Structure 1
Amino acid sequence: MWLVFPANERDIETIYEIEKSCFSRPWSKVSFYEELKHYYSYLWIAKNISTKEIAGFICFWLIWDEMHILNIAVKPEFQGRGIGSLLLNNAISLALKKGVEWVRLEVRPSNLKAISFYKKFGFKEIGRRRHYYFDTGEDAIIMELKIKEVKNGSKNRY
């Protein structure tokens, strides 16, 4: 059984290994350590309670009435098993409790798998950031989920 827990310094090495296995331009270990220091930053892991294995993580900020998802990744061998959904559901559930109005993120237009994943949660494209990804010069799609729609609509599964 997989549960979501706040990450701590002991988890950073595993988080970093997951990051490297999922992205061509991974965050540095230092970046993850830095996220643990900020009151507005949340770094959570999905951990098997029996084996203690960490299968994925999510990093997001809660600032005023917005949640901004910075990073989410699941080990390749665990992708497609609902772990990413578990992480995102938990984050959105917290956003609802905190009175957040919207959740936003950036995603590469070439990352069709991620775009499809976010659309399943009700995220919609609201704009683009030109030349956002410095490694390729690729734009970023800005996606948004309006929490009020989730609270008041039939999408409420959090």
Structure 2
Amino acid sequence: MVSPAQVPARQMFKSLIPSLAQSFISDIKNVRPDGNCGFRAISVGLGMHEKYWADVRWAMLIELETNEWWWRAMFKKEDDKIYDRLRSSLPYYTTVKPAPPRNWFSVPALGHLAAQTYGCVLINLHGNETECYFSLRIGPGTIQIQWL
């Protein structure tokens, strides 16, 4: 008998990926589901270990605060309180217990922020829906990522 931990993530989650997208996916990483999993997934997607999830949160918070005027203007079209909710949800760095839902990675707002922070395209596959988030102020490859 094979334990779930021994089954490759690609095999475990293949049925959740739309069939049209399956041939474009070379690997799937199953990150720790502790409420920081969205940030862990970004860390892994950037080629780092998932333990750098807090650095991802911090970098996104810096982007949000540094360009507050731009993010407030962007989110205002939908809801003026989005900026404040994101600003209060990002600084969560404890490893003692899982992050509460208010601190989870949520799309679309954090999808846009992650793409902008790292100058990348973030693709969210969810059921039969696919969402793509692009960097809106800079082109790809213009950000140098430094990990501590």
With structure 2 as the length reference, what TM-score do the two structures score?
0.25
Higher strand share: 1
Higher helix share: 2
With structure 1 as the length reference, what TM-score do the two structures score?
0.24
